Amino acid sequence: MTLSPPTRKIIHVDCDCFYAAVEARDDSSLRGRPVAVGGDPHRRGVIATCNYPARHFGVHSAMASSTALRLCPDLVIVPPNFDKYRKVSAQIHEIFKRYTALIEPLSLDEAYLDVSQSEQFENSATRIAEAIRAEVRQHIGITVSAGVAPNKFLAKVASDWRKPDGLFVITPAQVDDFVASLPVKKISGVGRVTAEKMASLNLHTCGDLQGLSRLELAQAFGSFGERLYHLSRGEDNRPVQTGRRRKSVSVERTYDSDQPTLKEWLRELDSLLDKLKERFARLDQNYLISGLTAKVKYQDFVSLSCDMAGTDLDRAHFETLLEQLWERRQGPARLLGIGARLRDMKAPQQPDLFPEEWDRALRQRRGKT
């Protein structure tokens, strides 16, 4: 007999235009005006986020600041202050903790909360979400949107349903009807390319996907097909994870002037590698390197990346990656980045084919040779 997964009450909380909202909170002259947080438009800066008045003009995150100003000449671009945003995020999490200990942060401005066992408000997830939103507005001075649902997938969809400053609830009884009409682009992992493929197959809603078998979904979308099968039915058994661990570490730099040739790319590698080693050294001793990656973004904002196996931050490995990227597309780079995939020795592991080698690497990482 197959046991049904436990019924959960999940809240997804998402701050509205977080960085821009904090800046407008702290500077009354910004209120009601189009505001973005980002880099200097005269130094190839990029928009990190913007408020809704700015979005009305077509401004969005990851857009070049100079382009944003052309679209919205009255846009106020504020340089980011991440120390301040981290402090505000910590204050918001203190509010979360009054209602549950099961909190999974996704970033500074959003988190999942499992309130299935909360004793607050007679265990009403809707009333808890309302209380959290009211407390953040009163004590933090910004607004958040929230979604309430039986699982993480639907809670995240719901939090976006009535943005900004909104609350949307999907009860267990409403799941089937809700997901049947849900556009496929709302499914996490369905990007532009996958959405275009779905459209070509006349798959526009989760209800359309439900008409395909597991085999048909696997044939059309590979390993993603199994996840599509469940999400299109509103099924998501992932628990809220309170101890999220890193899967990678990386550094990147956007340049004031393009790096035109491979020689310049390689010249920048030393400073990038020094920063990457510093970040890796700050991690706890239970991480091992399981792969390496490099990234380049060109003048036209097209990005390419390249990966390879590797267990150490050797400069020669990253030279090889950058050379492979140069062979794939030659041209001036506005951004270069390098990083490492991580193996978390604290996480449950599959049986290892080479346990002695991994044990030796872990001892070396800990300095126990």
Q: Which H/E stretch holds residue 122?
A: none
Please give the structure tokens belonging to residue 164.
């900004």
For the CA atoms of 186, 192, 195, 196, the dihedral, rounded to the nearest 10 degrees, stands at 160
Compute CA distances 313 → 173, 269, 272, 337, whole Å: 51, 12, 11, 14
What three-state secondary structure class fits 274? helix
Is residue 9 within 8 Å of residue 114, measured between CB atoms? yes
Active site residue 357: no
Q: Spot the catalytic one: 110, 235, 268, 327.
A: 110
Chain position carrying tokens 């979400």: 129
Rounded-to-integer distance, Cα 246 and Cα 147, Å: 26
Rounded-to-integer distance, Cα 154 and Cα 147, Å: 8
Is residue 204 within 8 Å of residue 198, measured between CB atoms? yes
208 is in an annotated binding site: no
270 is in an annotated binding site: no
Give the DSSP per-residue string, 153-188: HHHHHHHTTT-SS-EEE--GGGHHHHHHT-BGGGST
Closest to 100 (Cα-Cα) out of 171, 137, 142, 148: 148
Annotated binding site for Mg(2+): 14, 109
Residues annotated catalytic, as ranges: 110
Annotated binding site: 14, 109
